[in-house]
Amino acid sequence: MADGALSFLSPRSIAIVGASNDPTKRGYQAIRYLIADNFSGDIYPIHPREREILGLQAYPRIGDVAGDIDLALVCTPARTLPGILSELGNKGVLGAIVLAGGFGETGTEGQALEHQTLNVAHEHGVRIVGPNTSGVFNLHAAMNLVGMPNVEPGGLGIISQSGNMALSIVTQAASRGHLGFSTYVGVGNQADIQFHEFLAHLGEDPNTFVPILYVEGFKAGRAFLDVARNVTQRKPVVLYKSGRTSIGQESAKSHTGALAGSYEMSVDLLHQAGVVVARQSDHVVPIAEALSLQPPAASANVAVLADGGGHATIAADSLTENELHLPRLHQQTAAKLAEILPTAASLANPVDVAGGTDANPGVFADCAEILLQDPNVDGLLIVGLFGGYKLRFAESLGPIENETAKRLAALVKRYNKPILLQSLYTPMWTDALRILRTQGVPVQESIEIVTSCMTALVHYGHAKRRNAEHPPIPAQPIPDGADAIMATCRAEGRLSLFEHEAIELLKAYGVTMNNFVFVRSEEDLDTAVDAIDATPMVMKVVSKDILHKTEAGGVRLSLRSKETVHKAYREILENALAYKPDADIAGVLMGPMAKPGVELIIGMTRDPIYGPVMMFGIGGTLVEVLRDVSFRAIPLSRADAEEMMEQIKSGAILEGVRGAPPIDKDAVIDVMMRVSALVQAHPEIAELDLNPIFAHQVGCAVVDVRIILAEEPPDD
């Protein structure tokens, strides 16, 4: 049996609780598969009355079995589970696969039963897969407890929240003829074992080269991210996430909170952890195939080799839309290609052989080698008719194509750069295409899918390198004064820091802030003006009862004299009380007015699934309309911060538009890193918005800050 917490997934012995002589029952089918597949361990059918099932001795109760039992497949109804788990525990069984539905997914009563079952399991140290799971297989242990027939053993693992989606993956892979599977787990209700534990298990499993996950929802998203970051250092992980409707948090007090919870946020966090996210369900198997057969790409620089202009153009469009890069080829590369291709050929990238392979498809391998030798090229995409030359042109080209296929496969190993191939003859399954696939060069019919596969190789390579170079940043000690600010806020029964408190907190973490002064009464205004010593000034109301200061008429800009300051003070108080007559006004905050700049937002929210996440994007009042933001889990590395900035759609604005200079990205990244450290050190912060931040050519100014504390201080 394998080591590790879920070692029972490679069991030496299995009990089938609810075994049956009825061929339509899972308790029969499971035993039939185990026998048919020559499962090498002991099989113990458990049935109250039967003496024999499928030629095996049956036992009335688990306790009647003499030998050790590693794993139990439980096929009995939900209500029997607490009792059965107690028996399994007494027998020392390590894990139980619970097929029955009727637990948490059905309502209050089922939830109570699930809770009770879980308690019994914990008490007895039995781990549960499910309940409400479609089952488990481990084909390398000849254990198929899920009842999918004809699945070949191989290197793909599956962890799925839907049995039918796993069936889709297995069926699609089978139609390709050369892909096999290691372990499948249906997570069911994830009552006990959740995605992250299964992923950690497949991460350790030497038979699994690529874990594939179908996820509707995580229960412990942060734990998953942590495991994924670790596993993806050793092997690629492909994930499809469904349930994409944006949920947001309607009760959120910040822009960040309101924008979190989206599908796009999940994708960002998963990418950060090194996971390859398949955006289309029909790309999952091809991507897993590519990642299992080909080396990751060292950069996004991809060359395209085509035997026709149409395919070349579509491939170039598709790569560009995936933000891959078609580099200019080295001069020498073009020269070498010119020697073997006709004059009509296009020697730029994409390369179009323009008939130069019609008489001899072996020229493909010559071109491929020249392209892979180019230092500007880290991956090669071949598109068009290859593999069908014998059908399109002459039967005699078949052997040349087969030989070329072998040469292409050898090039991958020689240069350690990925080659992927699209052929319109894929449905015809010619020998050349079979050779490519079996020797490790995946073949796709669709240009979009092959592009998606190349993108996965590029993204995986990039994320693996980035995460290796940037380990998670440990929490830093809390600076002086920070805890006191929190304590004051709590003591006064507030969940929202006053803005001057938030400013002090940010300053404690090293964020450069303008010189703001909190003023409690009108007689202190003049002293404040002298202390600020800059015009124009801004004044904002400070009140725990007024969150939307501008709406309340609680903000005055462009104040240039003590006289206007006094006038503004009286107006603000008047407006605030008109807006909310019982508002408790603590005072006003005064400071120099920031020079206008590019409006950005840096925010944070504590996502119920993923924990603390940072948001960066285009700020101002239209944040939620424009939705041009990126997310990362906190703590983030500097590389993460840089990528957040590169990712936003209006990135051009950061480079300077209409003759404006580029913004000071380093200054903004510095704020992001300091906010990350602040949030990491203070789990009691629930939401945070710095919005807007005015980014300038040199430096940036945080114009408005909002920090909200959690209702209950968290445990950790």
Greatest Cα-to-Cα distance within the chain, rounded to the nearest angstrom? 100
The span from the CA of 365 to the CA of 356, in Å, is 12
In 187-301, the DSSP E strands lie at: 210-215, 238-241, 276-277
Measured from the CB atom, the residue of 119 and 280 that comes closer to its own copies is 280
Instruction: Report the residue from 21, 76, 111, 172 that binds its own copies according to the rule CB under 8 A.
Output: 172
The reply on whether position 376 binds its own copies by CB under 8 A is no
Considering the rule CB under 8 A, would residue 264 count as an interface residue with its own copies?
Answer: no
Question: Which of these, 54, 66, 71, lies nearest to 12 by C-alpha position?
Answer: 71
Cα 549 to chain centroid distance, Å, stands at 37
Q: Work out how close the CB of 326 gets to its own copies at its nearest, in angstroms, rounded to a whole number.
A: 10
Contact pattern for its own copies over residues 207 through 226, marking x by CB under 8 A: -------x-x----------
- Considering only residues 522 through 581, tell me which ones interact with its own copies, judged by CB under 8 A: 551
Which of 203, 236, 286, 384 is close enough to bind its own copies by CB under 8 A? 384
Rule CB under 8 A: say whether 203 interacts with its own copies.
no
Distance, in Å, from the CA atom of 255 to the CA atom of 233, rounded to the nearest integer, reads 34
Among 405, 629, 653, 702, binds its own copies (CB under 8 A): 653
Conformational region of residue 42, where left means phi above 0, alpha means psi within -120 to 50, and beta covers everything else:
beta
- C-alpha–C-alpha distance, residues 236 and 202, integer Å: 11
Is residue 683 near its own copies by the rule CB under 8 A?
no
Residue 584, interface with its own copies (CB under 8 A)?
no
Q: Is 595 in the site for its own copies (CB under 8 A)?
A: no
Select 333 or 444, whichever has its Cβ closest to its own copies.
Answer: 444
- 295 part of the interface to its own copies, by CB under 8 A: no
- Closest distance of CB 445 from its own copies, Å: 7
Touching its own copies, residues 79-118 (CB under 8 A):
101, 106
The residues near 266 (Cβ < 8 Å, ≥ 6 apart) are: 221, 241, 610
**Residue 160 found at the interface with its own copies (CB under 8 A):** yes
Q: Which residues contact residue 151 at a Cβ distance below 8 angstroms, ignoring those fewer than 6 apart?
A: 137, 139, 144, 170, 174, 180, 181
Among 3, 250, 491, 625, binds its own copies (CB under 8 A): 625
CA 128 – CA 190 distance, rounded (Å): 8
Task: Give CA–CA dist 336/371, Å, rounded.
Answer: 9
For residues 141 and 165, which CB has a smaller minimum distance to its own copies in the complex? 165
Please give the Cα distance from 343 to 515 (Å, whole number).
69
Stretch that binds its own copies, among 274-282, 291-299, 690-698, 703-711 (CB under 8 A): 274-282
Burial of 391 (0-12, 13-18, 19+ CB in 10 A): middle
Which residue among 29, 133, 138, 161 contacts its own copies (CB under 8 A)? 161
Question: Does residue 438 interact with its own copies by CB under 8 A?
Answer: no
| Other Cβ atoms within 10 Å of 150 Cβ, number | 7
Residue closer to its own copies (CB basis): 280 or 527: 280
251 binding its own copies? (CB under 8 A): no
Work out whether strand 685-695 and strand 598-607 pair parallel, antiparallel, or are unpaired: antiparallel
Q: Which of 36, 247, 348, 428 binds its own copies (CB under 8 A)?
A: 428
Nearest CA among 112, 252, 134 for reference residue 188: 134
**621 contributes a contact to its own copies by CB under 8 A:** yes
Residue 314 is a binding residue for its own copies (CB under 8 A): yes
The binder of its own copies chosen from 66, 477, 659, 711 (CB under 8 A): 659
313 is a contact residue toward its own copies (CB under 8 A):
yes
Kindly determine how many residues on this chain lie close enough to bind its own copies according to the rule CB under 8 A.
60
Closest CA to 373 of 421, 325, 416: 416
- Does residue number 691 form part of the binding site for its own copies (CB under 8 A)? no
82 exposure class (CB count in 10 Å sphere: 0-12, 13-18, 19+): middle
Site for its own copies in 173-192 (CB under 8 A): 174-175
Q: Which of 290, 447, 542, 602 binds its own copies (CB under 8 A)?
A: 447
**Contact in structure between 196 and 227 (CB atoms under 8 Å):** yes
Of 164, 515, 527, 561, the residue at the interface with its own copies (CB under 8 A) is 164
Q: What is the DSSP letter of 275?
A: P
Binding residues for its own copies (CB under 8 A): 101, 106, 160-165, 167-168, 171-172, 174-175, 214, 216, 242-245, 280-282, 307-311, 313-314, 317-318, 320-321, 344, 384-385, 388, 392, 424-425, 427-428, 445-449, 551, 621-622, 624-626, 650, 652-653, 657-659
